């Protein structure tokens, strides 16, 4: 009996001491933005709006915001007025549920739905300068505000799908997102730090890309990196992953447009 | 017209060393890359940047294919007189952009 109790005590101690179990994710107190993994020089690029290249897209976005488009001849500003007031805090709760589509849509999809429904204009292509510019403009209006996913019951099953995808091993390397970003974020992969994978600054300027890119682009290149077949742009799986990532990063400040190496 | 971001202090005292920052939107395609079909992507870069302070050149740079997209320049000069800074970027395919920023020197 005493032996049994000792074994039980050891098992309990192991459970308590286990640094991170993949099912539990990252404790709130340990959460860190990708920003904190960067060197001071790269941080300086993001911190100064005249050196952050993402601000070029924000500036382009302002011109698009006020430009009339489509058969309706309306600009974004005609409905939403000044972007600084009308879009403050909006990006912090995307992806959000769209009742007409019956599924969650991310900010890029929302902008294109707005174009189709209200401007009667053709949607922008994924990763086009225009779509990135408008997304960056809207995203930047939430800069510094906490990521605040909506408590909407209609999202629950999609969040669960996203979480399952995050935890699911896939590809020739048989890795799940969680294997790196929950379990090994304090280590390095080759020379580069493995970050916690918090999507707090999208669309973001990656020095590797030499351009601004969406969260879907980032997810697709991660999926290619584990030698799996990336989902196409706009796929429900990618939106579900985005949705789960926002729950995971809830409360962290929005950094759009962030700069990353 | 491509976007540019310019940061010149709006006010300075005569004799002050002031820092100027410029960021120009440009893809800076090196000319060394190929498409999936094997065709060479033609070079498309900014080749020269200059800054004039009240008509006098205070900074000039030549750019080459190894310089990254959206080139950022920061440099210093001495505040002499009120007036304006003029910035010029020229490059391949007839690329030619200008921007200006005022300064008040007291």
| CATH top class, domain B4-105 | mainly beta
B93, two tokens: 């395919």
Q: Residue B36: count other Cβ atoms within 10 Å of its Cβ.
A: 5
- In this prediction the ipTM stands at 0.92
Start-to-end CA span in chain B (Å): 34
Please report how the helices A236-248 and A156-167 are oriented relative to each other, as an axis angle in degrees rounded to 10. 90
Nearest CB to A60 within list B3, B6, B68? B3
Can you tell me whether residue B31 is helix, strand or coil?
A: coil
Q: Is the pLDDT of residue A23 over 50?
A: no
Half-sphere exposure of A243 (CA within 13 A, CB side): 29
Determine whether the interchain pair B25/A48 forms a contact, defined as Cβ–Cβ distance below 8 Å.
no
Q: How far is CA A72 from CA A100, A118, A121, A123, in A?
A: 20, 7, 8, 14
The answer to whether A128 contacts chain B (CB < 8 Å) is no
Strand order through the sheet with B83-91: B11-12, B96-105, B83-91, B46-53, B56-62
What structural domains does chain A harbor? 38-50+146-260 (1.10.760.10), 54-140 (1.10.760.10)
E strands of chain A, at which residues? 96-98, 103-105, 188-189, 192-193, 204-206, 211-213, 259-260
| pLDDT tens digits along A44-97 | 999 999 999 999 999 999 999 999 999 999 999 999 999 999 999 999 999 999
- Which residue of chain A comes nearest to B7, CA vs CA? A50
pLDDT in tens, A186-223: 999 988 999 999 999 999 999 999 999 999 999 999 99
Residue A4 has pLDDT above 80, yes or no: no
Report pTM.
Answer: 0.90
CA distance A207 to A210: 5
User: pLDDT, tens digit, for every residue of A44-56?
Assistant: 999 999 999 999 9
List, edge to edge, every strand of the sheet that includes A259-260: A211-213, A204-206, A259-260
Q: What is the mean pLDDT of chain B?
A: 96
Pick A50's closest partner by Cβ from B23, B68, B69.
B23
Clarify whether A222 is annotated catalytic: yes
Instruction: Quote the Cα angle for A179-A95-B27, to 5°.
Output: 80
């Amino acid at each position: 009996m005493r032996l049994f109790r000792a074994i039980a005590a050891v098992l309990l101690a192991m459970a308590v001491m286990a640094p991170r179990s993949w099912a539990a994710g990252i404790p709130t107190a340990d959460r860190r933005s990708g920003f904190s993994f960067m060197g001071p020089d790269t941080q300086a690029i993001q911190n100064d709006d005249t050196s952050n290249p993402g601000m070029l897209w924000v500036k382009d976005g302002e011109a698009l915001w006020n430009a009339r488009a489509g058969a309706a001849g309306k600009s974004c500003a005609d409905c939403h007025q000044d972007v600084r007031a009308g879009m403050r805090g909006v990006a912090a709760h995307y992806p959000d549920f769209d009742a007409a589509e019956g599924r969650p849509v991310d900010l890029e999809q929302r902008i294109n739905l707005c174009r189709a429904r209200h401007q009667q204009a053709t949607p922008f292509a994924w990763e086009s300068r225009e779509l990135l510019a408008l997304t960056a403009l809207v995203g930047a209006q939430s800069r510094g505000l906490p990521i605040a996913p909506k408590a909407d019951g209609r999202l629950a099953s999609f969040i669960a799908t996203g979480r399952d995808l995050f935890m699911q091993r896939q590809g020739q390397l048989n890795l799940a997102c969680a294997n790196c970003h929950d379990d090994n974020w304090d280590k390095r992969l080759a020379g580069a730090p493995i970050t916690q994978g918090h999507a707090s600054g999208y669309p973001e300027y990656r020095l590797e890309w030499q351009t601004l890119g969406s969260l879907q682009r980032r997810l697709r290149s991660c999926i290619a990196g584990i030698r799996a077949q990336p989902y196409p742009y706009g796929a429900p799986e990618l939106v579900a992953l985005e949705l789960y990532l926002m729950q995971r990063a809830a409360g962290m400040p929005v950094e759009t447009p962030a700069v990353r190496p | 017209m491509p976007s540019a971001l310019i940061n010149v202090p709006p006010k300075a005292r005569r004799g002050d060393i002031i820092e100027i920052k410029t960021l120009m939107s440009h893809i800076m395609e090196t000319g060394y890359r190929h498409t999936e079909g094997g065709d060479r992507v033609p070079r498309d870069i900014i080749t020269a940047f200059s800054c004039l302070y009240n008509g006098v050149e205070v900074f000039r740079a030549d750019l080459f294919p190894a310089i990254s997209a959206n080139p950022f320049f920061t440099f210093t000069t001495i505040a002499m007189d009120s007036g304006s800074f003029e910035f010029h970027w020229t490059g391949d395919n007839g690329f030619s952009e200008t921007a200006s920023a005022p300064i008040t020197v007291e």
